[in-house]
Amino acid sequence: MKNLELLITKAWQDNSPMLTTLAPLSALYGVVGRVRKSLYDNDKLAKYYAPIPVMIIGNITVGGSGKTPLIIALVKYLQDKGINVGVISRGYGRADSSPAMVFADSTPKDVGDEPCLIVQSTNVPMAVGANRGQVIDLLIKNNPTLQLIISDDGLQHYALHRDVEWIVVDGVRGFGNGKLFPQGFLREPLDRLNGATVIYHDSRTERYDDSALLMHLAPSKIIPLFHDKSDKNHILAPQKVYAVSGIGYPARFFKTLTELGFDVMEKPFGDHHEFVLDDLMDLKDLPIITTSKDAVKLRELAKQHNHTIFDNVWVLPVQAVLSESVYGEMDRVLNELGIDKL
């Protein structure tokens, strides 16, 4: 499965001619998606209406677009303003699909890798599960004073009524060949962006007008996997390294390391990959650098295996840098929804 995912991802990147053979599947995917959306839009299928406003942050492409760092940045901003915000997610990669709360000591196996990272970064109330209505009920039951719920992804989960939609677009990656999955990496047609609030993930600000909502990811200092137990002065100078990544769009991670001066040996795995010790055992000759999302899983793996290889694993944290227009739009949303600090 992992090899097939990587093969298709490479075909998208190269715009391989073989993708034309997938056109019939893409056509079927598009028809099913439009019919399903129409049924919900016209109240032919029942929706769940939350008792408090729901804001969805998603994308129309397969793979990473920067949603999770954006959500972390927005949650911190809202918390600083005194807004009682909660987060929900499907919890991809977890062993169970039933609703569950996420805590600082939750594991990726129990709640998913991204929820672990979000809660560890913000301590925000969060719940996961396949049925978003049940997830929201659980979250509010445990946090009755919540004022706003942010849904990490779920743009295509039309069974959930949403008051606000933000769509994150990777301005560098773009939309590839502009085809629907699996011929391309679009989850929905491009006309889905019409009238939507779009956040462009792109550091090349000169390409956009002053009103554009922009973000980019800024790398922080590379830290050891277990940085809390390490010498804070212990640094990793640019050198030849293995870059291990199980995220949706690893090319951005590899490019960032290269720009930081590292000689990168790329080791991509499928999105939400569940790491095992053998994934690392052939990488003992060089330092290993991974992403914050993957680090959540590798720390759990290290607890299961007392192996020295984890002493040579490093993490490249990133944080979302948002334009003032994004914060302005968030304030406008709060005002429109009538949300003020408690």
Q: What does the pLDDT profile of the chain (342 residues) look like in tens digits?
A: 556 777 888 888 888 888 999 999 999 999 999 999 999 999 999 999 999 999 999 999 998 889 999 999 999 999 999 999 999 999 998 889 999 999 999 999 999 999 999 999 999 999 999 999 999 999 999 999 999 999 999 999 999 999 999 999 999 889 999 999 999 999 999 999 998 899 999 988 788 888 899 999 999 999 999 876 555 557 899 999 999 999 988 999 999 999 999 999 999 998 889 999 999 999 999 999 999 999 999 999 999 998 999 999 999 999 999 999 999 999 999 999 999 987
308 annotated among ligand-binding-site residues: no
Q: Do residue 53 and residue 69 come from a single domain?
A: yes
pLDDT of residue 166: 98
Q: Do residue 165 and residue 311 come from a single domain?
A: no
Length of the chain: 342
Interatomic CA distance for residues 12 and 35, integer angstroms: 26
Between the alpha carbon of residue 217 and those of residues 45, 71, 99, the distances in Å are 38, 12, 31
Q: Do residue 64 and residue 158 come from a single domain?
A: yes
Those residues with Cβ within 8 angstroms of residue 243's Cβ, 6 or more apart along the chain or in another chain: 250, 253, 254, 257, 262, 264, 265, 266, 267, 288, 289, 290
- Let me know if residue 114 belongs to a domain: no
Taking the CA of residue 302 as centre, how many other CA atoms within 13 Å lie in the half-sphere pointing to its CB?
16
121 annotated among ligand-binding-site residues: no
Provide the CA 120 distance to its chain's centre, in angstroms: 15
DSSP code for 311: G
67 annotated among ligand-binding-site residues: yes
Those residues with Cβ within 8 angstroms of residue 292's Cβ, 6 or more apart along the chain or in another chain: 117, 315, 316, 317, 318
62 annotated among ligand-binding-site residues: yes
- Let me know if residue 239 belongs to a domain: yes
Instruction: Look up the domain containing 277 and give its range.
Output: 221-316
Return the percent helix, strand and coil in the chain, to nearest 5: 40, 20, 40
112 annotated among ligand-binding-site residues: no
64 annotated among ligand-binding-site residues: yes
Q: Do residue 151 and residue 75 come from a single domain?
A: yes
Q: Do residue 166 and residue 283 come from a single domain?
A: no
Domains in the chain: how many in total? 2
Q: Do residue 250 and residue 164 come from a single domain?
A: no
Q: Do residue 76 and residue 165 come from a single domain?
A: yes
65 annotated among ligand-binding-site residues: yes
26 annotated among ligand-binding-site residues: no
pLDDT of residue 155: 95
